[in-house]
């Protein structure tokens, strides 16, 4: 990961963020726990390699909790996602957050492995949450990764020490 740099999203990045998220997810909106997030408007970090963006992490701070609203990399197994998490974690700690959390779906076994290896714990299963999410974002498919029916939201968290 020596060639990867992490920096805050700037206004000059917003068009790239919009294109990147739309290309990878079909829309700039993400839904978690019944909240629609405009990913292209949120604070976050861009991971770059030799000046070219290779990853994005966005977040939302509410009270003493920071939600990772998106985390995506074009280059897996190179430390991009981990570096983005660490950047968000640092901001959350500086803001006095006691909890860093996120939502993934029941079909995303890759993400479940990834986050648990980085210290996140499974704290809740929100059964059939995707039914409500589809009311807010109808293009969410019925079938997800590996042919798994896309039904549930899984909540993961790390408890934070305030710095």
DSSP H or E run through 46:
strand 44-49
The terminus-to-terminus CA distance of the chain in angstroms comes to 26
For the stretch 135-144, pLDDT in tens is 998 888 899 9
Cβ proximity of 39 and 69 under 8 Å: yes
CATH of the domain at 154: 3.40.630.30
pLDDT computed for residue 163 by the predictor = 63
DSSP assigned state of 40: G
CA nearest to 64, candidates 92, 43, 42: 92
Report strand pairing: 99-105 vs 121-126.
Answer: unpaired
Confidence of residue 36 (pLDDT cuts 50, 70, 90): confident
**Poorest-confidence range of 20-24, 32-36, 69-73, 106-110?**
32-36
What does the pLDDT average to over 131-151?
Answer: 92
**Domain region containing 83:** 4-159
For the stretch 76-96, pLDDT in tens is 777 899 999 999 999 999 999
- Residue 146, pLDDT above cutoff 80: yes
Q: How many domains does the chain have?
A: 1
């Amino acid at each position: 990961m020596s060639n990867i740099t992490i920096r805050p999203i700037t206004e000059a990045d917003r068009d790239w963020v919009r294109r990147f998220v739309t290309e990878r997810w079909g829309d700039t909106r993400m839904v978690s726990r019944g909240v629609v997030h405009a990913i292209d408007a949120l604070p976050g970090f861009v991971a770059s390699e030799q000046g070219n963006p290779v990853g994005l992490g966005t977040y939302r701070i509410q009270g003493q909790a920071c939600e990772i609203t998106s985390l995506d990399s074009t280059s897996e197994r190179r430390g991009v996602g981990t570096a983005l998490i660490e950047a968000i974690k640092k901001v959350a700690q500086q803001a006095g957050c006691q909890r860093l959390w996120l939502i993934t779906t029941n079909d995303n076994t890759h993400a479940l492995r990834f986050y648990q290896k980085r210290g996140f714990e499974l704290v809740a299963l929100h059964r059939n949450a995707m039914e409500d999410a589809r009311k807010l974002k109808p293009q969410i498919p019925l079938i997800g990764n590996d042919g798994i029916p896309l039904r549930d939201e899984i909540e993961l968290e790390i408890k934070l020490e305030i710095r």
